[in-house]
Amino acid sequence: MKFLGIIPARYASTRFPAKPLANLGGKMVIQRVYEQVTSVLNDAIVATDDVRIADAVNAFGGKVVMTSTSHKSGTDRCFEAYTKTPGDFDVIINIQGDEPFIQPVQLQAIMDCFKDPQTQIATLVKPFIPSDGYDALENVNSPKVVVNKNMQALYFSRSIIPYFRNKDRKDWLTGHTYYKHIGLYAYRAEVLREITSLPQSPLEITESLEQLRWLENGYVIKVGISEVETIGIDTPEDLEKAEAFLAKQHAV
């Protein structure tokens, strides 16, 4: 099975403009993501709509594809980049361009999901642990996932799912395994083509979660488990946390 890693990267961001080019420990954020991905995948490209990001990727020796400025999601950008990339690929992995600490074990975990022939789309989750606390579980920016016995997604929500009836909230994390969604996706090539042509769905619009469109249309999303905690960069404050995290890693 041949995998292609695509890293969508936009320059325009409401909360943190130009974040792919932000300096993190002497390297740009996008360079750190690219280096992590290419440590596992032989084929990987950055997909961007901005020449400044393209020039930066070329400067550090990475591969880049220019895409439309009109895409509404990273999935749409991934599909255009895939159609512009020579080669015959079975699975496309969508790696967010603001995840400089994406780990090889996470990429391997999502690739392993495709050992199941029923897998059409794959993503990762991380179990919440009791020390995370109820506030972390309640955070609407950290979507939750429920799965079936075959580790296929049943639903994603910004609310806490499942609701633990007849138990005090402070004990929810000790009484049930809750899963936090990690925004790493992979799609069989033909499925990626199909899902990018689907209109927005009611559940997707309600929760503002794109993956609900796929579930509503009957696609099977296989879920892999990761025990690794990573730091995504959405704001300048997140970049400061990432700097501290990187410094701690180097101090070990």
Nearest of 186, 48, 23 to residue 100 by alpha carbon: 23
Amino acid 179: pLDDT: 98
**How many Cβ atoms sit within 10 Å of the Cβ of residue 225?**
13
On the question of a common fold for 1-102 and 103-181+190-228, the answer reads yes
Q: Is pTM, for the whole model, over 0.75?
A: yes
Superfamily name with CATH number, domain 1-102: Spore Coat Polysaccharide Biosynthesis Protein SpsA; Chain A (3.90.550.10)
Amino acid 72: pLDDT: 86
Amino acid 252: pLDDT: 55
Instruction: Say which residue the tokens 């390297």 belong to.
Output: 27
CATH topology of domain 103-181+190-228: Spore Coat Polysaccharide Biosynthesis Protein SpsA; Chain A (3.90.550)
Amino acid 193: pLDDT: 97
Crossing angle of helices 29-38 and 51-59, rounded to 10°: 60
* Residue 22, both tokens: 């932000």
What are the residue ranges in the chain where pLDDT is below 70? 251-252
**What three-state secondary structure class fits 146?**
strand
Amino acid 89: pLDDT: 98
Amino acid 13: pLDDT: 81
* CA distances from residue 227 to 66, 67, 161, 167, 214 in whole angstroms, order as listed: 34, 33, 20, 26, 25
The ranges assigned to domains in the chain are: 1-102, 103-181+190-228
Task: State residue 123 phi and psi, 5-degree precision.
Answer: -150, 180
Q: What is the pLDDT of residues 98-157, one digit of tens each?
A: 999 999 999 999 999 999 999 999 999 999 999 999 999 999 989 999 999 999 999 999
